[in-house]
Amino acid sequence: MLSKLVPRIKAKPLTERTSSRDAFVYLDRVQKFFGWTAVEDKRWRIPYILWGIFMNLLLIFFLPISMLVAYIQKFKSFTAGEFLSSLELTVNMYGCVLKCIYTIWGFKGFTAARKVLDELDLRCTSDEERNSVHRCVALGNLSYVLFHIFYSGYVVINWTGYVLMGRHAWMMYLPGLDAENNFFVASLCEILLMSTVVTMQQCTDVSPLAHMLMARCHICLLKDRLTKLRTDPTKDEDEHYEELRNCVHDHRLILEYVASPSALFLYAIKTSTSPHLPSYVNALRPTFSGTIFVQFLLIGIILGLSMINLMFFSTLWTGLGTMCYMFDVCLETFPFCYLCNMIIDDCQKLSDNLFQSDWTTASRRYKSTLVYFLQNLQKPIILTAGGVFPICMQTNLSMVKLAFSVVTVIKQFNLADKFQ
């Protein structure tokens, strides 16, 4: 049923041409709506730039400021539950501002990364490899659709719960509109603005996940190619050596997609390949490092505020909205960290597969290249958040534990009782 509405979440048959960059179709469409991409028709360049400035000023700057103004003007009218519901979202909203700036700033890196994927696609010649790419492309688009359902679900549930109680869901400050005398108009403006900013945040969260899904896809394909080295008896020694060199080139392209320039330069020296580093080296690392760093800093605080709201101040409807919100906050880091762990494990298997290939009877030239290649494969691809935290499940769980510390402090000092 869902695949009929969004057909790209289903893997296309091999008779249809699909490339790795097709994993970002839905993501690119929404980013184009926000003015984060380049317009194809130059005649629309100026209007598109103006539209992008308007949308980003409205959502990245005006909306967070309006939340602060609302606290100043309406602080005495807030209930504890309303205040926490608004505060947990406001904290995340300011984090969203930073993540959006990182994503906009990384547009050239995303464009360069697509070029690397195009080169990696050229190596996918067999039906088995193309089928793997088709499945990962569908998974990348599915991740966007699922995130959209979960994020939008929170907005609708939370808004509905407060409207049924005759209260504003987020108590926004809307210039020129008397929210008390125009309740339904103000509520409609709130859900429209919140839905849009949540969709913007969704782009910053799905982008790292979708891009790293395609990275892992090509790492897995490289694993299979390493297993098949020197297994074809019809090929001579030169052809086997050329296969090995192609695998070295594939690994270097993957590093260009996600790794650091220093690692690539060392790689070029050790493998005696050209030390020239293309302009798209280190394409994704800076952007993802910044966005995940911001989220790591905020996730414990946001979950702590949500848990306090859920335990002490929520009704049935608002509690349901808060639980959806907590689930969505976990989605911002958990899938990406889990994927990074899987990539670290895959990198270990790369070196194992190369070592277990049939190299013992190979020529000296083949063995020499294999030794240098093996040394580079033994270094896993590890992304760091802000150059400080390794992006992995252990770091994610450590940040989440901060939420329980916040709740413990509140319970020990009976702070919740003072606001009830």
Query: Which segment of 31-45, 275-289, 291-305, 321-335 scores lowest on mean pLDDT?
Result: 275-289
pLDDT > 70 in the chain, percent? 91
pLDDT value of residue 414? 63
* Tens digits of residue pLDDT in 225-251: 999 999 888 889 999 999 999 999 999
- CB of 34 within 8 A of CB of 56? yes
* Tens digits of residue pLDDT in 135-156: 999 999 999 999 999 999 999 9
Count of beta carbons in the 10 Å neighbourhood of residue 386: 14
pLDDT value of residue 192? 93
Q: Compare 261 and 414 and report the one with higher pLDDT.
A: 414
* Mean pLDDT confidence for 205-211: 93
Query: Which segment of 179-183, 328-332, 387-391, 393-397 scores lowest on mean pLDDT?
Result: 179-183
Q: Which helix (H) or strand (E) holds 190?
A: helix 183-227
Kindly list the domain boundaries of the chain, sorted by start residue: 17-418
Q: Compare 53 and 172 and report the one with higher pLDDT.
A: 53
Q: Which residues contact 373 (CB under 8 A, 6 or more apart)?
A: 244, 247, 248, 251, 271, 354
* 271: confidence class by pLDDT, cuts 50, 70, 90: very low
Q: Which helix (H) or strand (E) holds 5?
A: helix 2-5
- Is it the case that residue 273 has pLDDT exceeding 50? no
**Total residue count of the chain as it appears in this document:** 420
pLDDT value of residue 152? 93
pLDDT value of residue 415? 54
CA dihedral 299, 305, 311, 312 (to 10 degrees): 180
Q: Which residues contact 109 (CB under 8 A, 6 or more apart)?
A: 280, 282, 283, 284, 286, 287
* Tens digits of residue pLDDT in 3-32: 788 989 999 888 888 999 999 999 999 999
Q: Which residues contact 186 (CB under 8 A, 6 or more apart)?
A: 168, 172, 174, 177, 178, 179
* Mean pLDDT confidence for 187-205: 92
Mean pLDDT of the residues in the chain: 85
Q: Compare 165 and 412 and report the one with higher pLDDT.
A: 165
- Is it the case that residue 416 has pLDDT exceeding 80? no
Tell me the chain's radius of gyration from C-alpha atoms.
Answer: 25
pLDDT value of residue 26? 95
pLDDT value of residue 354? 92
Q: Which two tokens stand for residue 409?
A: 């402090």
